[in-house]
Structure 1
Amino acid sequence: MKITRMACALGVLGLLAAGSGWASAADRDRVGWRACHDGLWCAGVEVPADWSRPRGDRIAVGLLKIPARGDRLGTLLLNPGGPGPSIRNFALPTYRDQFAELAERFDVVVFDPRGIGESGGVTCPGPNPVAVTPPLTEAGHASYTAANARFAADCAPATGSLRVNARQVAHDMEAVRVALGERRLNYFGNSYGTVYGQAYADLFGRNVGRMYLDSVLDHTRRDLADWTRPAAITAERNLHRLAAWCAEDPACALHGQDLVAVWDRVLARAPIPAPGTDGVDATAILAWAAGRIGNDRGWPALATGLAQADQGDATAMVRRGWLPDTSLARTALCSDFVFPDDYDSLKRVETGLRQTVAPRLGWATQAWNVSGHCSGLPRTGLHPPRPIHAHGLPPVLIANGDNDPLTPAEHGRRVAAQLPGARYLAVDGNHGLYLRGNRCVRDHVNHYLWTGGLPWAGARC
């Protein structure tokens, strides 16, 4: 990570620190755009490594711009989620094409979150430890906690004074708005990008022009059981939706069978042989299914894997290797979602979900996968969930997929209820609605971002 220490804030950030909220259109080129990625533009905006110490170390927030092709309405700041690097993905034409419609009227400006990718990205000396699979055991939790603590200690010299929570990112977004000379910030946040949108609305609501949040991850609830329950219920419901689809579609590998009964049988008979392994146990089966149950497009492969496992071959469920993660992505998530991460608290939530609303699959997808990842990390630089106080915020458009266990619909509804005038668009879909090309969603979002016109109350895609 490149961090520099400066005696005072320079340039446009100096204006921001001094209280100026806007730079003129003539100053827009102050960010110093340069050609990159075959027809796109890249730049960086300097910001404090810690906004609570604005005269200390500094980093550069990386930006990428897709120039508007038609009559330009202004700039649309975008974060596709993660938290993770996005700018490097734009080297792929198939990735940038997802944003072509938005670029008809806007300069679409994408940013990497601080400490990640092009925004002073930190590469830690060793990888994040691999999380244990459910059900959670006390020994597994203790081992992972110790490994996570070692990761944090080893990475501390590279991290330095950098703070990576969403409140800090929201201040970066405001700095970008000023640097681009925009009176108001138009923003599109997808998935984890909605956490940044919530923080910006809370801190700088009066500076918002239009804001669209897709697949909202609720950053307003502090109770872990309450936060995880909607996602667990959705994952469990998806298992039964998969069974209903399989009963109707002859192409399903388990057509004519009770898929839920097959699921129960496969789990009961684990471990199941697989080439080159000692067998695939129930924890691996749960992790395999949990990673696929949220995407209807993956149902054929999921049903096929279950059918093969039922016949004694769990090859499809074998993990295909692991790419080491040396980034601060998990640290960023854990800075924002500050839930209890001790064994007793996590086990209590897991057991409660398993005994009540999600006995087959949903229980295994939630408490450990979020809060458990944070066990052992130091409790510094935190921005815990909190209600949104969005003073002066114009109407915001929010959409969540009814069948998305990663960011369940209830999360979107909860956030929309805290934003005066917000419009919630219900969608029969999964995760990343606009970016996956849902035509109904795209039409509503494009109309809103271009004109300010919201979908009618009760609209559904």
Structure 2
Amino acid sequence: MPTPPRRLWSAVAAVFAGVALLAGCAAPAPLVQPPAAGGAPAPEGLEEFYSQQPEWAECDSNYRCADIEVPLDYEDPGGERITIAVKVFAAVGEPMGSLFVNPGGPGGSGIEMVESIDAYLGSDILRNYDVVGFDPRGVGQSTAVRCYDSAQLEEWYGTEFDVETDAGFQAFVDGSTAYGEACAENTGPLIGHVDTISATRDLDVLRAVVGEAQLTYLGFSYGTFLGAHYAELFPENVGRLVLDGAVDPALGYGEIVRGQTAGFDLAYRSFVEDCQAGTDCPLTGDVESGIDQTVAILEQLADTPVASGDPDRPANDADLMNSIIVSLYNPASWPTLSSAIAALQDGDGSQVRFLSDYALDRDEDGNYPEDQGAFRAIDCLDYPVEVDRDAMRAEAEELTEISRLFGPYNGYGEVGCGTMPVQSTAVREPIAAEGTPPILVIGTTRDPATPYEWAESMADQLSSGVLLTYDGDGHTAYGAGSCIDDAVDDFLVEGTVPDDGLSC
């Protein structure tokens, strides 16, 4: 039996918890009807928010920006208000409407995404749509979560816990509790209102404010979770929805962790196989041997970190694990990971240190994003947990059985949410979204972060789900240059619905 985890690193938990053949068709594809004029009326009590006229301002070339007001608490719309920051890239041609985008996370910035929009979307989309990027509540330029500052994060991320000892486990609980208390103190009441349901209701306000009767939307990773909830809550307002890298909305916390552990294990095996098929791969032999060598390197780094060029920050096992995780999101990063492992074997941890800092969004001056805590705050309101040490130990052993590489670093995560000042009351259950037009759900067969099975499940749950499959590596499929790109572009621009089961 694999050894259950003893060491846990806050830094690894932060990274884990937050990066062709055309199928034939026998008949012409159906078309989605154009959006109906007017749309559904504003929900009662929210008319003022839906009808607001924000002050749009030019911001950068071809962009306009505004802050949209929404209630802090939708159960109390007359109470405190917060703002959602929006940045719109104007269509290159005559716009047919607005396309809302979400990059995932939770905690990803739609504004940052739209600022690099030509790296995400094809030319047909950019010609035909105004692209709307927004920072969800708690994130970025919107009213945002604040937890630790950069100096505190540097210390927190560098903290190691031996959870198999009573003292080590209690230190982990105490440290996590202190982090949660800082989030509550520095964020205020918002800390209890950054759940996905609230963000979904914000999205409907944004849809109305920009003048769209129905929502056209492209969401990646966590953005699929947000999009599916939108379809469930506002089916009459659904236009053309694309959900890439689907998160199964019915899964609970433990199921999510087990799925990701298996997903990253599968993705790393694909990386090793690709590495060994080339020249100068630092992991020799077959795939199993490559896994064994990686585990051995991690164990060695845990005992003896390697110099990285910064005497205060040698590369340890947490840094290598972070490097692996972030590199598996995009196969284009695989050569960089191979080079970093090779350098590590030669006693140079600088490349691993660089990748680990990139995974944690740490800049060269040691600064972290001010809204770094948004991921945990959102995630913890969406997923109820129970802090039961015996149950977590059993789960940790199961995770290590699933993956001897990733499992030992992925246990005891319930402590992070169980020590937050606000506990989740959400119920994880399937989403059907009855009455919506076709919704595209995309899965990648070796996606590390959102396993392909989740896309199958979401497409099956949605009453109008249409499953598209990309047989490939990396996280999400759109933009990889496969038949998925053409199918999504045709759907969004022409309304052409691809065959359910399209695969390439």
TM range (shorter): 0.7 to 0.9
Q: Which of 204, 220, 234 is 1:190 aligned to?
A: 220
d(CA) in 1 for partners of 2:224 and 2:169? 29
Q: Which of 341, 362, 376 is 2:406 aligned to?
A: 362
- What SS does structure 1 have at the residue aligned with 2:234? helix
Structure 1 residues 134 and 227: alpha-carbon distance in aligned structure 2, compared to 1, 3 A threshold: farther
8 Å contact from structure 1 (residues 21, 178) kept in 2:
no
Q: 5+ unaligned residues in a row in structure 1: which ranges?
A: 1-13
d(CA) in 1 for partners of 2:369 and 2:466? 37
Matches within 5 A, 1:18-57: 18=45, 30-57=53-80
Report how many aligned residue pairs link the two structures. Answer: 438
Q: Structure 1 segments of 4 or more deviating over 6 A?
A: 19-23
The residue number in structure 2 matching 1:9 is none
Report the alpha carbon displacement of residue 342 of structure 1 after superposing the two structures with TM: 4.3
The residue number in structure 2 matching 1:113 is 136
d(CA) in 1 for partners of 2:207 and 2:313? 55
Q: Which of 99, 120, 125 is 1:98 aligned to?
A: 120
Q: Which of 266, 269, 275 is 2:297 aligned to?
A: 266
The residue number in structure 2 matching 1:290 is 325
Name the Cα RMSD after superposition.
3.2
Range with greater deviation from structure 2 (78-87 or 31-40): 78-87
Report the alpha carbon displacement of residue 393 of structure 1 after superposing the two structures with TM: 1.9
Matches within 5 A, 1:18-417: 18=45, 30-84=53-107, 86=109, 88-89=111-112, 94-99=116-121, 101=123, 102-124=125-147, 126=149, 129-130=156-157, 137=164, 139-162=167-190, 163-222=193-252, 224=254, 226-254=255-283, 258-267=289-298, 269-270=300-301, 271-275=303-307, 276=311, 282-311=317-346, 313-318=348-353, 320=357, 323-327=367-371, 328-329=373-374, 330-355=376-401, 357-359=402-404, 361-364=405-408, 366-368=410-412, 371-380=414-423, 382-417=425-460
Report the alpha carbon displacement of residue 207 of structure 1 after superposing the two structures with TM: 1.5
Aligned amino acid, residue 173 of structure 2: T
Structure 1 residues 192 and 223: alpha-carbon distance in aligned structure 2, compared to 1, 3 A threshold: closer
8 Å contact from structure 2 (residues 434, 464) kept in 1:
no
Aligned amino acid, residue 65 of structure 1: V
Report the alpha carbon displacement of residue 384 of structure 1 after superposing the two structures with TM: 4.3
Aligned amino acid, residue 419 of structure 1: L
8 Å contact from structure 2 (residues 162, 169) kept in 1:
no
Structure 1 residues 134 and 438: alpha-carbon distance in aligned structure 2, compared to 1, 3 A threshold: farther
d(CA) in 2 for partners of 1:117 and 1:283? 26
**Deviation per CA, 1:388-407, whole angstroms, max 9, x where unpaired?**
14131221101122222111
Calculate the TM-score normalised by the size of structure 2: 0.77
**Deviation per CA, 1:354-380, whole angstroms, max 9, x where unpaired?**
12x322x23145445x64532410234
Range with greater deviation from structure 2 (62-71 or 40-49): 62-71
d(CA) in 2 for partners of 1:325 and 1:372? 23
Q: 5+ unaligned residues in a row in structure 2: which ranges?
A: 1-40
- What SS does structure 1 have at the residue aligned with 2:377? helix
Report the alpha carbon displacement of residue 60 of structure 1 after superposing the two structures with TM: 1.7
8 Å contact from structure 1 (residues 37, 90) kept in 2:
no
8 Å contact from structure 2 (residues 102, 108) kept in 1:
no
d(CA) in 2 for partners of 1:206 and 1:278? 54
d(CA) in 1 for partners of 2:284 and 2:270? 14
- What SS does structure 2 have at the residue aligned with 1:103? helix
Structure 1 residues 372 and 402: alpha-carbon distance in aligned structure 2, compared to 1, 3 A threshold: farther
d(CA) in 1 for partners of 2:203 and 2:78? 18
d(CA) in 2 for partners of 1:311 and 1:378? 45
